[in-house]
Amino acid sequence: MNILTVKNICKKFNNLEVLRGIDLEVNKGEVIAIIGPSGSGKSTLLRCLIRLETIDKGSVAIEGKPMVYQDSNGDSIYSSEKDIRILRKKMGMVFQNFNLFPHKSVLENIIEAPITVSNTPLIEAENIADQLLEKVGLADKRDSYPCELSGGQKQRVAIARALAMNPDIMLFDEPTSALDPELTGEVLKVMKALAEEHMTMLVVTHEMGFAREVANKVIFMDNGEIIEQGNPQEVFGNPKHPRTKAFLGQILR
């Protein structure tokens, strides 16, 4: 089942074309790894999907409902704020720099949105938070503050915080890039477990091992375009495009 449909997204920053016509279809339960050189527009793509950036052209639909659509003149029209709120609630996002709320404890970080956004009763929100902390292996850090955690622990809290809103799609923007190498494993393990539960995931990553092992589909982006996509065996084993080959040659060396 198609959960996310993206057609011909174009995005400019001033005069810089950062996305040049991206098409993407994501099925429920799919894990998509997005790879490509720095500056190729990977983060911008994710940010456009969750409307942290607005697109200039193209359309984005979630579960068949338009967040932004293209009218007959080719202009992109965003749906009403109310409808967008509903659609965005279906997505969670995890950032490279965690962006935890430093003044709130681990538990408070996780229950913040359920309580303020969804009006979940406190007890229920705490129960959900405890289950999620169990799941990411941080039950003992419930009452710690972000400043007391390692990078890997912070990122696992950030994942739990996003999951607390019960999203259908999770977006990860280089979730392990800010971590010391020895800490990436614990985060990737949590993400792998999520994938095994058939969470729909879009993961921008430089972890080729993870992409190869966990993703159903790998997308190679360069210069604002999708250059090549396919299953991991195809893209890693037998890249067709010279730019994919060059990139993989560099990164896997």
Ligand X SMILES: Nc1ncnc2c1ncn2[C@@H]1O[C@H](COP(=O)(O)OP(=O)(O)O)[C@@H](O)[C@H]1O
Interface with other proteins (CB under 8 A): 50, 52, 85, 88-89, 91-93, 95, 97, 99-103, 112-113, 116-118, 145-147, 158, 161-162, 165
Instruction: Report angle CA 97, 35, 206 to the nearest 5 degrees.
Output: 50
89 binds, among other proteins, Mg ion, ligand X, none (CB under 5 to 8 A by kind): other proteins
Closest approach, Cβ 55 to other proteins, in A, equals 16
Closer CB to other proteins, residue 106 or residue 235?
106
Task: Round to whole Å and give the CA distance between 153 and 136.
Answer: 9
Closest approach, Cβ 33 to Mg ion, in A, equals 14
Closer CB to other proteins, residue 86 or residue 208?
86
Give the residues lining the site for ligand X (CB under 6 A): 13, 16, 18, 36, 38-44
For residue 83, which phi and psi values (nearest 5 degrees)?
-65, -40
Sign of CA dihedral 3, 194, 89, 122: positive
Site of tokens 């607005």: 54
Return the residues of window 22-51 that contact Mg ion according to CB under 5 A: 43
Alpha helices in the chain (DSSP H): 42-49, 81-88, 106-116, 122-135, 151-163, 181-196, 208-214, 232, 242-251
Closest approach, Cβ 81 to Mg ion, in A, equals 27
The single-letter code of the amino acid at 85 is R
* Residues binding Mg ion: number (CB under 5 A): 1
Closer CB to other proteins, residue 102 or residue 121?
102
Closest approach, Cβ 208 to ligand X, in A, equals 15
Closer CB to other proteins, residue 162 or residue 218?
162
40 binds, among other proteins, Mg ion, ligand X, none (CB under 5 to 8 A by kind): ligand X
18 binds, among ligand X, other proteins, Mg ion, none (CB under 5 to 8 A by kind): ligand X
Site of tokens 């697109």: 55
> What is residue 138's three-state secondary structure?
coil
191 binds, among ligand X, Mg ion, other proteins, none (CB under 5 to 8 A by kind): none
Closer CB to Mg ion, residue 43 or residue 205?
43
Task: Round to whole Å and give the CA distance between 155 and 188.
Answer: 10
Closest approach, Cβ 13 to ligand X, in A, equals 3
* Contact predicate 197/41, CB 8 Å: no
Q: Which residues contact 29 (CB under 8 A, 6 or more apart)?
A: 198, 199, 200
The single-letter code of the amino acid at 147 is C
Closer CB to other proteins, residue 118 or residue 233?
118
Residues near Mg ion (CB under 5 A):
43
